[in-house]
Amino acid sequence: MNNGSNLLINESVGAGGDGQTSPVFNEVSIIARQLILGSFDRLLPSDDTILTRGGGTAMGLKLYDELERDPKVWETLQKRKLALTSRNWKAAPPEGDTSRIAKKAADMVTAQLRNLSFDQLTTNMLDATLKGISSHEIMWKRDGREIVAAEAIDFEPWVLQFKLNPDEDEYRFARCGVRLLTPRNSGDGEKVPHRKFVLHRFGARYNNPWGLGLGTRLFWPVFFKRQGIQFWLSFAERFGTPVPVGKYPNNATVAEKSTLKAALRAFQQEAAIMVPQGMEVTLLEAARSGIDTYERLCKYMDDQIAGVVLGKSGGIGSGGQLAANINVENEVRLELTKADGDLLSDTLMSQLVRWIVDYNMPGAPYPTVYRIIEEPADLDKLASTKKKLYEMGFRPTLESIRQDFGGDYTEVTKQAAPGNGATSVSTAEFAEPDTPADQAAIDALIASLADNQLQALMSKILAPVMKAVRQSGNHQAALEKLVEIFPDVSLDDLQASLANALFLADTVGRLAVQQEVED
């Protein structure tokens, strides 16, 4: 302890006025952790449920496998996993990096993750949501010049051991040395190779490598639910069917009492019984009030389980209040899905993705692997927005409509009103409006110009230019001649033509405005 304290002081004190000239690079909180752990240098799970109900060791994680046997726990955990694995995933270069090597690294990681059955790998890694940690062994193989992650073997995390003070050459995970318990060394375990185990944590606190899963919150609701069901079954067995009651007269003999008792026993199996005259058989039924206590207890525990895993409130209220609660629950579930996806991306980025790139493309940027999680679009609101844009003069393309609404779309044929001599016109939905009359008039004027008129006009302008170019011996001389003759180039005909065109356009525009005012 003194050595650690001296080390802390020596590296912290410098010659400056505040006694420190440089940042402290060594970890200092480890000294306090050594004091708390005493002489032990192995880290145990920080889960109180495992420590008190699971035997006090990492083997207590098996306790949470039993929780998944509860139908409600299994249902809610599957919903949470599928909410993430059902989304598309992508491996992309770092944001803003458009280099060729970054794209090549992203393509390589995409191919390797796809060969690993990435959705199944994601599902297995999400076991950490319940247990706090999940573990996979990566089986590497050489494929030509590339080192490939051929398989990710899911194995029990409780066969691992974490040392607080790892050796320099020991594989480090969350500042701890990772060891594997083996038959030969089941105490401290044996060192594991680097870049071999992918460990995903959920709810990690105080830098404990074991994490803290939802199992610690689910244990007691499941426990009380099972106890309630057990009592419920006993109650149903005891009071679910009426109890036959036999009545005999005061002067009944022992033989008559035995006969009545045998008849009561036969009542449970036989369709009909006989009793001596003077004796009576009745049915005793349990009172119906209060027998739903067990059912309400189990429903309450199911609501607690759904709240822990999915953030559900149990559907409290009715009408508008119930609808509002459902909307809130959906938003919470979306946030949980995003959080699970981000946590998984961090694990892959710091371990598997980094290893793949380092083995095959050292120095290349590490791509980002993530799930594409977007809120479902409100189609009614989207359609209303596009309609308003169209009314404002903006035409959505058919491609954008297909992307937003899916499906396929074709042109709609609109018939003109009968009797006005117009023919039918075929237009596409959201097509451009008809060309205005003034624009059509200008377009017609341009189209009416003959090619020989334009050719003659430009030939007259360019004739001195071409003559100067032919008389020049090089580019410099040609440029100097062009500067000299440019003021003498005749532009009168071109200016006259442009003036006429502008006058016509202005006149057509004024007439169109006047027509709109009169209408």
Averaged over successive runs of 10 residues, the pLDDT of the chain (519 residues) comes to 48 50 73 56 81 80 91 94 93 92 95 94 95 95 93 92 79 84 84 92 86 93 92 76 75 81 74 66 62 84 92 64 73 90 95 96 94 76 80 78 72 54 46 57 63 66 70 70 65 62 67 61
Bridge partners (DSSP) listed for residue 229: none
Whole-number Å distance between alpha carbons of 364 and 103: 10
Whole-angstrom Cα distance, residue 458 to residue 456? 6
Q: How many helices (H) and strands (E) does the chain have?
A: 19, 13
Q: Can you give the pLDDT at residue 1?
A: 43
Q: What local confidence, expressed as pLDDT, does residue 429 receive?
A: 46
Instruction: Count Cβ atoms below 10 Å from residue 116 Cβ, excluding itself.
Output: 20
Q: CA-to-CA distance for 207 and 209, rounded, in angstroms?
A: 6
Orientation angle between helical segments 71-85 and 320-350, nearest 10 degrees: 70
Angle at 499 between CA 498 and CA 503, to 5 degrees: 115
| Structural tokens at position 415 | 């018939």
Predicted pLDDT at 118: 94
Going from N- to C-terminal start, the domains of the chain cover: 1-39, 241-281, 379-427, 437-518
Q: Which helix (H) or strand (E) holds 89?
A: strand 89-92
Characterize the bridge pairing of strands 176-182 and 172-173: antiparallel
pLDDT at 351: 95
Strand 412-414 and strand 133-143: the pairing is unpaired
Counted residue by residue, the chain has a size of 519
Map residue 96 onto helix, strand or coil.
coil
Which segments of 248-286 are extended strands (E)?
280-284
φ and ψ of 162, to 5 deg: -120, 125
Task: Answer for the pair 130, 77: CB distance below 8 angstroms, yes or no.
Answer: yes
pLDDT of residue 235: 78
Q: What's the CA gap between 213 and 230, in Å, rounded?
A: 27
Which residues, 6 or more positions from 59, have their beta carbon under 8 angstroms from its beta carbon? 158
Q: How far apart are the first and last CA of the chain?
A: 96
Please report the pLDDT score of residue 290 as a whole number: 54
Contact assessment for residue 293 and residue 213, using Cβ atoms and an 8 Å cutoff: no
pLDDT > 90: percent of the chain? 31
What's the pLDDT score for residue 189? 84
